[in-house]
Structure 1
Amino acid sequence: MEKIYFVGAGPGDEELISLKGYRLLKRADIVIFAGSLVNPKLLDYCKEDCQIYDSSVLYLEEIIEIMRDGAKKDKIVVRLQTGDVSIYGSIREQAEELKKIGIDYESVAGISSFLGAAASLGIEYTVPEISQSLIITRLEGRTPVPKLEKLELLAEHKTSMAIFLSVQNIEKVVEKLLEGAYEENTPIAVVYKATWEDEKIVMGTLNDITQKVKNSEISKTALILVGDFLGDKYNYSKLYSKYFSHEYRDAIYNRNK
């Protein structure tokens, strides 16, 4: 069966690929990986005769040609994407081109960098009564964003945010966040290469993060996290409260009736 596998490589740490993704890499005849965004240590899982291509130097047409030729020869072809394939992976265009030439595909979930960054920081995006929503977005640049997804408009919700592909414009990011509902003392974190060996974390507030990022010389491959979930305020959830009942457990006051 002619088929391409889109595999999420995880955020960086080579052990954070899924077991399914690892098994596919081990068996792959052809791997097309996303250049400097994917930890090259993941390629060590490939067999010796696996053909490996770096997509950072390829055009879409060339990527599809490699996929088509491999699939027609019944090769196992893996398209190895950073993080999870569903977030800023440019997968849709590849999938549509494969449909045109009658080649099937399967996506294998991975761990996104926003999850890897949260693990590195030891934080939770959804702190009870502080924030129960997470917005994943980016600042407009060479790639525009829809009108209603402008950063300043999303910032009006004042919820947890994970901002991709924008650290090179940190000053503008801060400006847009302040245009929304965030205040200057809102906590913010910039995580460079989350879970990689050379990971770097810069913590601050909207008031001082721009200078801190400039001092750290971070200009790419970083995620911006902003919101009160990073602060000192928190509340306990009702889930494990002895006074909160649900279908698996009676509350203590019900037991004492």
Structure 2
Amino acid sequence: MTVKVIFIGAGPGDPDLITVKGRKVIEKADVIIYAGSLVNKDVLAPRKENCDVHNSAYLNLEETIDIMAKAIEEDKLVARVHTGDPAIYGAIGEQIRELKKLNIEYEIIPGVSSLFGTASALEAELTIPEVSQSVIITRPAGRTPKKELESIRSFSKHNATMCIFLGISMIDKVVDELLEGYTEDTPVAVVKKATWPDQEIIRGTLKDIAGKVKDANITKTAMIVVGDVLDPGDFTPSKLYDANFKHEYR
């Protein structure tokens, strides 16, 4: 294996949901930098006894890059472990930019996003024929600003399935924006720590979900899913397994 920095998606929480490829890198890594506030530490269990482990919750970007650069100079393999899939709110873009400046090779191993861990916990298909064939992945504006065209208010007018990261602490604001396009009786689910042993699921509608979330005292590490796919009722089956459909598309 060429010495490099390898970004790994650790999955949503259950340590068995890391990919085989990601686990193999963790087994071989000389240095591991992991998102300690989010990644299940059991994901790191297969590491070597002498592996140097750093919790990035206590590091800024410069410190993180310094650790990587020093390790590469010493011909060490670096595993940079992120929660879920690093492509979604993983903050890898700025790390990659700095690695390119230093001519340090890197690779990205995808992971199971908390989005899909949430869908599995809800036993839901997010794209049901004639209910919703689109999934909007977004977050509310906070310290990180957003363009108005990317606002939850704007997206709500599509009435598609919407999965909202990093919004549970401002649930009232999120609901207000969602009501710009969805109706009050639109189904909503909140999943805290999907796939973890202490996973929690709250179901409701836009009319009552904020109150239910507050009653459950859920303030972080939760996904909000909105849309009729959560309670589709009777719907037209997919053409994928239609008896008259050619099998090559299956």
Alignment TM class, shorter chain as reference: over 0.9
Post-superposition offset of 1:235: 2.4
Q: Residues 78-102 of structure 1, C-alpha deviation per residue, up to 9 Å, x if partnerless?
A: 0000000100000000000000011
Equivalenced residue count is 247
SS at match of 2:173: helix
Q: Residues 136-190 of structure 1, C-alpha deviation per residue, up to 9 Å, x if partnerless?
A: 00000111112210110001000001000000001110000001x2000000000
Match in the other structure for 1:117: 118
Choose 41-50 or 92-101, whichever is displaced more: 41-50
Once residues 159 and 248 of structure 1 are traced to their aligned partners in structure 2, the CA distance between those partners, rounded to angstroms, is: 28
SS at match of 1:97: helix
Q: 1:130 to 1:51 in 2, by over 3 A?
A: same
Post-superposition offset of 1:2: 4.5
Structure 2 regions of 5+ residues with no counterpart? none
Once residues 90 and 203 of structure 1 are traced to their aligned partners in structure 2, the CA distance between those partners, rounded to angstroms, is: 30
Once residues 4 and 245 of structure 1 are traced to their aligned partners in structure 2, the CA distance between those partners, rounded to angstroms, is: 45
Post-superposition offset of 1:47: 1.3
Post-superposition offset of 1:247: 5.8
Post-superposition offset of 1:241: 1.6
The one-letter code sitting in structure 2 at the alignment partner of 1:213 is V
Match in the other structure for 2:80: 79
Q: 1:248 to 1:93 in 2, by over 3 A?
A: closer
The one-letter code sitting in structure 2 at the alignment partner of 1:143 is T
Query: Percent identity between the aligned chains?
Result: 49
SS at match of 2:23: helix
The one-letter code sitting in structure 2 at the alignment partner of 1:82 is T
CA contact (8 A) 2:30 2:51 kept: yes
Once residues 158 and 80 of structure 2 are traced to their aligned partners in structure 1, the CA distance between those partners, rounded to angstroms, is: 36
Once residues 40 and 105 of structure 2 are traced to their aligned partners in structure 1, the CA distance between those partners, rounded to angstroms, is: 27
Q: 1:247 to 1:117 in 2, by over 3 A?
A: closer
CA contact (8 A) 2:9 2:111 kept: yes
Match in the other structure for 1:197: 197
The one-letter code sitting in structure 2 at the alignment partner of 1:107 is I
Once residues 32 and 48 of structure 1 are traced to their aligned partners in structure 2, the CA distance between those partners, rounded to angstroms, is: 15
Once residues 13 and 248 of structure 1 are traced to their aligned partners in structure 2, the CA distance between those partners, rounded to angstroms, is: 34
In the TM superposition, 1:47-58 aligns within 5 A as 47-58=48-59
Q: Residues 17-39 of structure 1, C-alpha deviation per residue, up to 9 Å, x if partnerless?
A: 00000000011110000012000
Once residues 108 and 71 of structure 1 are traced to their aligned partners in structure 2, the CA distance between those partners, rounded to angstroms, is: 19
Once residues 45 and 129 of structure 1 are traced to their aligned partners in structure 2, the CA distance between those partners, rounded to angstroms, is: 45
Post-superposition offset of 1:121: 1.1
CA contact (8 A) 1:2 1:72 kept: no
Once residues 168 and 45 of structure 1 are traced to their aligned partners in structure 2, the CA distance between those partners, rounded to angstroms, is: 34
Once residues 7 and 129 of structure 1 are traced to their aligned partners in structure 2, the CA distance between those partners, rounded to angstroms, is: 36
1:97 aligns with 2:79: no
SS at match of 2:8: strand
Post-superposition offset of 1:213: 0.2
CA contact (8 A) 2:11 2:17 kept: yes
CA contact (8 A) 1:35 1:56 kept: yes
Post-superposition offset of 1:114: 0.5
CA contact (8 A) 1:191 1:202 kept: yes
In the TM superposition, 1:1-257 aligns within 5 A as 1-179=2-180, 181-233=181-233, 234-242=235-243, 244-246=244-246, 248=248
SS at match of 2:239: coil
Structure 1 regions of 5+ residues with no counterpart? 250-257
CA contact (8 A) 1:2 1:103 kept: no
The one-letter code sitting in structure 2 at the alignment partner of 1:166 is G
Q: Which has the larger radius of gyration?
A: 1
RMSD: 1.1
Q: Residues 205-253 of structure 1, C-alpha deviation per residue, up to 9 Å, x if partnerless?
A: 00000010001110000000000000142321111122x332649xxxx
CA contact (8 A) 2:131 2:232 kept: no
Choose 51-60 or 1-10, whichever is displaced more: 1-10
SS at match of 2:179: helix
Once residues 232 and 97 of structure 2 are traced to their aligned partners in structure 1, the CA distance between those partners, rounded to angstroms, is: 46
